[in-house]
Structure 1
């Protein structure tokens, strides 16, 4: 059975000649017939032009070749040898001095397949890159959440007298916006900080709030400050538990 890629129906004579040449050479080889030197290109040229040899006139009939007489970069023998390799490999190889233009004319399915493969590889590469970036984003998010959890845990052991130190330490690691919610939840434990409520309602940033706290602490009577210190959990007991 002839593969669909070797079907004899073709819109372009050169394409059809290349397919016929492959089929004829392979059939002769299977019969054990003696083959001439460069059988593929000889058969191809004979089917396409009636001549088994490449000359300037024949070269002009090969689409995509664009042969120019007195070409300084290559001669017709080199072209012939390159065509032999291309046709023998079914278009997979495209040695110099041939160009992809000749390959596209004689074996367009190879070009399409390579394009599909290239696009498929690019798609796979893009998918892998997106997955890698998604994993990195997820990892960063998890690390961020863990860091915020540590900051919130640390805040539980702070009093109004030490909360500014807490803010200074964690504001280098986290955005103030990430610390704000935890701070206002913590603030409700302490009666001395009740007057900060107006700053929360007015939407003041956390650094402004922190600026006010030392003044409030200084004006808070000692017995209230002492009582509020007792609201802070004992760290040693917490860790033992």
Structure 2
């Protein structure tokens, strides 16, 4: 093992004890000797052998205290410590506190945080894609609806798209193509770069007060009317 003073990442005493306990148990495991909990406590008291005392457990588990009435017994803490070390921090059973993982295995906490961060990023990206698809669907729906709109009802159509949150830039091209179908509609206005509400306001009577003859002609230019006319 790299000496602590030469390591690139500072190792705290609890983390060092856990790592050394794992190494020691793995080395002796084939001979059926003591479990992780004993090795851990031994490391924390300076590799000295001897009977496990309440003081040893208190040193290893910060929330262990014999003075508290009804406190969990020492054996439960020992079993929990054994599981904690054996799982390298993946499992932290009661009665250990949650900080035991960061105390002994800070790298596990870091990896968990990284996984949660990646999971959040993945979820956010999924939500962005779903939002984008919904928006694209709304734009496509606006274009379908526009095909059945005459100049007289264009402003009503536009206000509906505003409520849907569709940007003017995504409506300009379709409006320019739409306007070319109708007599007397100045399509150049849609390419002026002004907000569409301002363009529609400027066009004013050109759209809403068209002569009756032009209104009848407008109706004939709608897709369903063209289809019926061909029949």
- Shift of the alpha carbon at 1:68? 2.5
**Alpha carbons of structure 1 residues 28 and 187: separation in structure 2 relative to 1, 3 Å:** same
Question: Which residue is 2:159 aligned to?
Answer: 175
Structure 1, residues 33-66: CA drift from partner, whole Å, max 9, x if none? Answer: 1223xx100011012113555433223323x623
Q: Is the 8 A contact 1:54 1:80 kept in 2?
A: no
| Distance in 1, Cα, partners of 2:184 & 2:19 | 85
The reply to whether residue 142 of structure 1 matches residue 140 of structure 2 is yes
**Alpha carbons of structure 1 residues 139 and 184: separation in structure 2 relative to 1, 3 Å:** closer
| Distance in 1, Cα, partners of 2:15 & 2:100 | 10
- Shift of the alpha carbon at 1:147? 1.7
Question: Which residue is 2:66 aligned to?
Answer: 69
Counterparts of 1:126-137 in structure 2, within 5 Å, are: 126-137=124-135
Q: Is the 8 A contact 1:43 1:52 kept in 2?
A: no
- Shift of the alpha carbon at 1:150? 3.3
**Alpha carbons of structure 1 residues 28 and 236: separation in structure 2 relative to 1, 3 Å:** closer
Q: CA RMSD in A?
A: 3.8
Question: Which residue is 1:22 aligned to?
Answer: 22
Counterparts of 1:150-165 in structure 2, within 5 Å, are: 150-151=148-149, 155=150
DSSP 3-state at the match of 2:95: coil
| Distance in 2, Cα, partners of 1:228 & 1:20 | 89
Pairing partner for 2:226 from 222, 228, 235: 235
Q: Is the 8 A contact 1:45 1:52 kept in 2?
A: no
Q: Give structure 1 stretches of 5+ with no counterpart.
A: 1-5, 156-162, 190-199, 218-224
Q: Is the 8 A contact 1:22 1:88 kept in 2?
A: yes
TM-score, structure 1 normalization: 0.64
**Alpha carbons of structure 1 residues 138 and 229: separation in structure 2 relative to 1, 3 Å:** closer
TM-score, structure 2 normalization: 0.66
- Shift of the alpha carbon at 1:11? 3.1
| Distance in 1, Cα, partners of 2:156 & 2:200 | 25
Q: Give structure 2 stretches of 5+ with no counterpart.
A: 5-9, 163-170, 186-198
